[in-house]
Structure formats: C-alpha cells, structure tokens
Amino acid sequence: MTHPLPLSLRQLFLIPVLALLAACQSLPPPQGFSPEQIAALQAEGFVETGEDWTLTINERLLFPSNESGLQPDQIERLGTLAHHLIAVGITTARVEGHTDSTGKSAYNQALSEARAQTVAAPLQANGMRFTADQIIGRGETIPLSPNSTPEGRQDNRRVVLIVSPAE
C-alpha cells in the first residue's frame, strides 16, 4: 500500500519547482541603448556603427603634429559631453588615440596612447569611469585618410570615443 506524502513534504518539493518555472518565465535583460540614450548620443554627434556608437568625423578631436595636449575649450567640451552621457546612464566608453605615419612606429604608438589618456582625463574628472583596457593607443595603424598629404595626416591625428551597450 502506498502512502501519500504529507502536505509539508509536497510543499517542500513544489516550491523549488515553481521557483524554477518562474525563473524560466523572466524576461532577458534589455539589449542595446534606450531611446533616451540614443537621442543623447545623436545630440552629441555620435553615429551608430553596428552595436556601437562612435563620435562622428566632424566632432573628433584633432591634434597638431607631435602633440597630445588639449585646448581649454576642448577640455570644457569633454566635460559637458561627460555630463550629458552620464545623465542618460552612459558612464563609460572606449577612448582610442591615433597618429599619422610621420615618425617611427614606436613613437607614434606612445603618442597615440598619450592622446587617449589626455582625452580620458577630463571625461574621468567629470564622472565617467574607464578601465585600463578602454584607453587605447592605435598608433598609425588605422588611418582615415592617406598620409601622403598634410590634410590626410591631420585627419589621422585624432582621438575617437566609442560607446558600446555592453560597456
């Protein structure tokens, strides 16, 4: 003869089963940026590049040859940018420094890293957070324009901000 399980023992098995079923019914975390974040990125001059958003070419930071310093108005602009991004919950980005191909590759790599650090500093001072692997020097490896003209070399001396939904 079989004896039914007592009520308390049945509840002991039923509660974990129901909890597992409830977990299966929960929604996945949201992917991508919210409409408010997208509006803020667009207002700041970022353009969508796949899942990421990148500061547009006309808004990128350009540097004179062999320089990594920022002008006071650029520092102020970066502070304002940081405040606008943080206000919509974007608290970090990737900062990539670039150079033209003039000079030795090792020097250009160090200069691109200095440029990325220089741009990250006012963003950090205004509340954004970065890990060491988010501040990157690309050297002369990703030119936008040919380095054969002064205008092309100027285009290539830049820092680009990249915002990703996972960051």
Domains parsed from the chain with CATH numbers: 43-93+102-163 (3.30.1330.60)
Q: What's the confidence (pLDDT) of residue 65?
A: 87
- According to DSSP, the residues that pair with 139 across neighbouring strands are none
The residue-averaged pLDDT of 106-128 equals 97
- Check residues 71 and 133 and name the one with the higher pLDDT: 133
Question: In sequence order, what E strands does 42-163 have?
Answer: 46-49, 52-55, 61-62, 94-97, 135-137, 158-163
| Cα-based distances in Å from 164 to 52, 54, 66, 72, 140 | 5, 9, 30, 28, 23
Instruction: Give the number of other Cβ atoms within 10 Å of residue 73's Cβ.
Output: 8
User: Is the separation of the CB atoms in 34 and 165 below 8 Å?
Assistant: no
Query: In the prediction, which pLDDT does 28 show?
Result: 47
pTM: 0.78
pLDDT of 110 reads: 98
18-70 pLDDT, tens digit per residue, is 555 555 555 444 578 999 999 999 999 999 998 899 985 555 677 888 999 99
Instruction: For residues 42 and 33, give the distance between their C-alpha atoms in angstroms, rounded to a whole number.
Output: 12
